Amino acid sequence: MNTFWQWFWLLVWSFFFVCYLMVLFQVITDLFRDHELSGWWKAVWVILLIIFPLISLLIYLIARGSGMGKRQLAAARAAQEATNQYIQSVASGGTGPSAADQIQSAKSLLDSGTINQAEFDQLKAKALA
């Protein structure tokens, strides 16, 4: 850092690198959020992002950019809905899932063999209490 201009260009390139990383992580998140894209295509995109990072990133944004916004919005709405349901559950005097949900969850654990009948009975009694 001998001169002001060296420091300035370091700052500029650091800014662009951080921007690149943010976009890269957003694209990778979108890849794994998209349930319509097969696993093979996800693997191809990841390999392209590793081998040709900048060009493949730009191609992804051009080809699938509109879908990224829709998937981001859907994920945000789902998170907001889950938050609202939890808040309503707590506000109505509940502290979480209903007794029926807890019993159904315990029944699925019993059916899969994860818990035995005695443990199921304990979970059922706790849910009904």
pLDDT in tens, 69-95: 888 888 889 889 888 888 887 777 655
Report the pLDDT value the prediction gives residue 95, as an integer from 0 to 100: 58
| Coil vs helix vs strand at 94 | coil
Low-confidence ranges of the chain (pLDDT < 70): 1, 93-97
Report the pLDDT value the prediction gives residue 94, as an integer from 0 to 100: 58
Region of 34 on the Ramachandran plot (φ > 0 left; ψ -120 to 50 alpha; else beta): beta
pTM: 0.59
Rounded Cα–Cα distance for residues 10 and 12 (Å): 5
- Which residue, among 17, 41, 16, 31, has the nearest Cα to 61 in the 3D structure? 31
